[in-house]
Amino acid sequence: MSQLFSPFSISSVTLPNRIVIAPMCQYSAVNGEASDWHLMHLGNLAISGAGLLIIEATAVEQEGRISPADLGLWSDATESALARVLSAVRKYSNIPIAIQLAHAGRKASTAAPWDGGGLVDANHGGWPTVAPSALAFMPEDPEPTALDAAGLQRILQAFVAAAQRAYKLGIDAIEIHAAHGYLLHEFLSPLSNQRDDEYGGSLENCMRFPLAVFEAMRAAVPPEMPIGVRISATDWVDGGWDLDQSVAFANALKARGCAFIHVSSGGLSPLQKIPVGPNYQVPLAASIRAETGLPTITVGLITEADDAEAIIADGQADMVGLARGILYDPRWPWHAAAKLGAQVEAPPQYWRCQPREQKALFGDIRFRQR
């Protein structure tokens, strides 16, 4: 029996298999509101046969967007727009759906990647950025404003309010974005956090604000709604955030009721040197899983069904995340199931597509013949 296609439970949410669609920014919202593109995009992925779909990084306040076209969940209008999309998707798919809640910090106010990704100034819809310290991401960028006590409280409450909206929408789980150089990661890393107050300096202090955000969100929604965290396990820069610190952070999250840890890396510094290759982040996830016992999602150039199967079977992670790979092949779970001798759920409109030699792919399906 395929381990990749065995069920797995994250708190009260049971996944039919271990394939996770990782959050992928679409830069297609208007004023933070989900658009018809999101209806098409999420609808397509919802019938992929994966075990969990995580909605892209969703800003908890306007200033927390990566770009002016980022998805948001900070107002009645953004909530209503996402509700429309989710309602349509739910008519045709029962895939568990999570949402990644985020604040971009000093990496906010940038253009979409296909528009160059550069800083957007105030004349073109941009805004001033905030961060733990007045340290820019790129040398040519203007310095962000270091957050004061009022700013920290505003952002914490924005995360809480977005979590409550997510629960109201019937979303199954929440993932807090503390990776890729965005605000919560900026607090963790000594490369971006040079504060001399209770939020900087020691590891305990650097973890204080991200942990406070997690605790407040955990208290704001019912305990049966899982809340996990995505982290960058290393900055890939000497003197930056590293694996040992990630283990300590994950253990602190576990003690506070964290349901899962989603392990990525990098994104905080342009000086990073990432040894990119197939499955290159899997050892990071395996170490954190072994040290903490937290349910763990691994991600990063996992493209082959056999590799994904081995990751689960060998106990390196509990779930395998796909991002760019599933954009390229939205039926990756179908193809993996066919290769591994497993089954997936698919809408009845597509049952007739299964190849003759794979008649068990969608289960024991019989068609009435005319």
Per-residue pLDDT of 233-257, as tens digits, reads 999 999 999 999 999 999 999 999 9
Residue 199: active-site member: no
Residue 2 included in any domain? no
Dump pLDDT digits (tens) for 14-31. 999 999 999 999 999 999
Is 369 a member of any domain? no
356 or 48, which is more confident?
48
Model confidence at 364, pLDDT cuts 50, 70, 90, reads low
Decide if pLDDT at 148 tops 70: yes
In which domain, by residue range, is 340 found?
A: 8-358
SS3 content of the chain, % helix, strand, coil (to 5): 40, 15, 45
147: CATH: 3.20.20.70
Q: 276-298: per-residue pLDDT in tens?
A: 999 999 999 999 999 999 999 99
pTM greater than 0.85 (yes/no): yes
Mean pLDDT across the stretch 44-65?
Answer: 98
CA distance 209 to 203: 11
**Number of independent structural domains in the chain:** 1
Instruction: With respect to residue 240, please indicate whether it lies within any of the assigned structural domains.
Output: yes
Angle at 124 between CA 120 and CA 127, to 5 degrees: 55
Q: Could you give the maximum distance between any two Cα atoms of the chain, in Å?
A: 77
In a domain? residue 282: yes
**Short-list 318, 64, 102, 74, CA closest to 229:** 102
- Residues 315-329: tens digit of each pLDDT: 999 999 999 999 999
Residue 307 within any structural domain of the chain: yes
Q: Give dist(CA 351, CA 305) in Å, integer.
A: 22
- % residues pLDDT > 90 (the chain): 94
Considering the domain boundaries, does residue 82 fall inside one? yes
The one catalytic residue among 27, 92, 167, 182? 182
Evaluate if residue 203 carries a pLDDT over 50.
Answer: yes
Q: Is there a contact between 215 and 256 (Cβ–Cβ < 8 Å)?
A: yes
* pLDDT for position 368: 47
